[in-house]
Amino acid sequence: MAGYKETPRQKMIAMMYLVLTALLALNVSVEIINAFVVVNQSIEGTNSNLESKNNETYARFQQQALLNEAKVGPYWEKAQEVRKTADEMVKYIESIKWEAISRSEGITVDQARITPLRDINTKDKYDVTTNYFIGNSQDGSKGKSSELKDKIEQFKTEILGGLEPEARQDIKIGMDTKGPFQDASGAKQNWEMHNFYHTILAANVTFLNKLIADVRNVESDVVSKLFSSISAEDFKFDQVEARVIPSSKMVFTGDNYEAEILVAAIDTKQNPEVVIGGRSIPAENGIAKYSVSAGATGLQTYEGKIRVVGPSGETKEYPFKEEYYVMTPSLSVAPTKMNVFYANVDNPVTISASGIPETQIAASITAGTIRKEGKGWVVKVPSGVGKVFVNVNHNDGSASRNMGKAEFRVKRVPSPTAYIANTDGGPVAKNMLLASRAIIPKMPEDFDFDLNFEITSFTFVGVRGGDIFEKNANNNRLTPEMTTFIENSKKGQRIWLENIMAKGPDGNRKLGTIGIIVQ
């Protein structure tokens, strides 16, 4: 699509889907079904990311429309129609998906909505779904697939309705329903039969989720095209509004409250006149900074006016009113990386109390240890503890005063995922597999600690000539026998790396199996 570049992850998903669909014509094995579950889960994650990305674009679009309704308004209205069209199409595809699951599994549609594909018992069946999508017809014309095909063609027409003819040429929608399509023997098929005749439920769900990804992708392209028609640099500031941006609405006694007061869509060549309670606030580069000592505690309010010269030379006045809170000092104990402590690892923590020097803060913990390290603290909690309390005292040399305590949950360090040749399963080029030669454990991306697991053993399993080849390794590296087996493997042959054991800070863990299809 225009302006859209597939990530390596998305390319891998598309390739795996094609491979799995082809293999279904030969043998629906447990491994293939599980692979469909993995691919479907990845597509669902991609769909969620695409929707979030589109929502961010809509948010920026709306912001520009609020700043200059006259210029941006017409484009924003078209963008909202695009969103409505895409959302309706996604809702329709999801309704088909849930209905297919409901019929095949014998559950209600509401149950189907919340049941993951991996938990569906009939994901390897196709009788019910074929009847649903193809119906009592030889070409699918009496089934739900024919209706879906018509909806897709209608969507492809409507989604481009807001673009000028020349702009439409830059959008590549995909979602081809014309073909040509062929079955495994090379005979011609229509779109309905090619995608839904005798295909198992797992394949149906994965294909429908891929259609949703296609819808979200073209939605992104069309909205981006509309958004690019707007130039933020030539906005006319005839719709302005006072803005007050405080550094913080919560301040402690004795501190200063600070805020930036400005006109939205700032003209840095003109300094506004800001007056608060009869006091003139100086401005520089279009911004006036207001500072006042925080005295009494509780809610504080202030109001004033901003005067600015408009486009035609007349002076315009914009009133504003703002409020802030003044609070007494309070304790702050926060983990540096997460909102929980992980067992058996060093958890960085910051401890501070307003107005109290760091040298006068003392801390203790109800289980485990806490120590000062540099400008922060480090907490280490043993396994088997559900929660801990960090107690903080102020010790000025003459007396010790309790400042309070903070409660934290304790979690086990997450298990890593086993990778080989930079993948945790699926098609792998033989030369890549031979070059890697080792299993590498990788921690989840959102785990910020510098922590490594060590692979201590695994089992290599393959099948050749009807015989099972099974060898064990006492480290993370492929043995010469395993390497020889891979070298002699043919394209499409499957290999499993099982019983992968990894050693971490709290002992040994068993990781998931890596299923490989040699390419």
Could you report the per-residue pLDDT of 458-478, keeping only the tens digit for each? 999 999 888 899 999 999 999
- Across 120-129, 183-192, 256-265, the highest mean pLDDT is recorded for 120-129
* Residue 3 confidence (pLDDT): 45
Statement: residue 251 has pLDDT above 80: no
Q: What is the pLDDT of residues 35-64, one digit of tens each?
A: 889 999 999 999 999 999 999 999 999 998
Mean pLDDT lowest among 59-63, 97-101, 257-261: 257-261
C-beta of residue 69 within 8 angstroms of C-beta of residue 236: no
Q: pLDDT at position 84, please?
A: 96
Q: Could you give all domains of the chain from N- to C-terminal order, each with its CATH number? A: 8-234 (no CATH), 242-327 (2.60.40.10), 331-411 (2.60.40.1080), 417-518 (2.60.40)
Residue 285 burial (C-beta neighbours within 10 Å; 0-12, 13-18, 19+): exposed
Lowest mean pLDDT among 222-231, 308-317, 408-417, 465-474: 308-317
- Whole-number pLDDT of residue 25: 43
Read off the pLDDT of each residue in 100-109 and give the average, rounded to a whole number. 96
pLDDT for the residue numbered 107: 96
User: pLDDT at position 168, please?
Assistant: 84
pLDDT at 240 over 60: no
Could you tell me which of 421, 424, 425, 419 has the C-alpha nearest to residue 437?
A: 421
How do residues 278-292 score in pLDDT, each as one tens digit?
A: 888 888 877 888 888
Give the span between the Cα atoms of 392 and 405, in whole angstroms.
Answer: 6
Percentage of residues in the chain having pLDDT higher than 90: 50
**102 phi-psi bin (left φ>0, alpha ψ -120 to 50, beta other):** alpha
Q: Give the integer Cα–Cα distance in Å for 479 and 460.
A: 9
| Burial (CB count <10 Å: 0-12, 13-18, 19+), residue 391 | middle
Output 509 or 232, whichever has higher pLDDT: 509
Going by C-beta distance under 8 Å and a sequence separation of 6 or more, which residues neighbour residue 247? 257, 258, 259, 260
Give the closest residue to 373 by CA, choosing from 382, 363, 383, 381: 363
The confidence score (pLDDT) of residue 252 equals: 45
Q: What share of the chain is helix, strand, coil (3-state, %, to 5)?
A: 35, 30, 35
pTM over 0.85: no
Contact between 406 and 333 (Cβ < 8 Å): yes
HSE, CB side, 13 Å, CA atoms: give it for residue 249: 8
Q: What is the pLDDT of residue 26?
A: 44
Query: Please, which residues have CB within 8 angstroms of residue 484's CB and are 6 or more apart in sequence?
Result: none
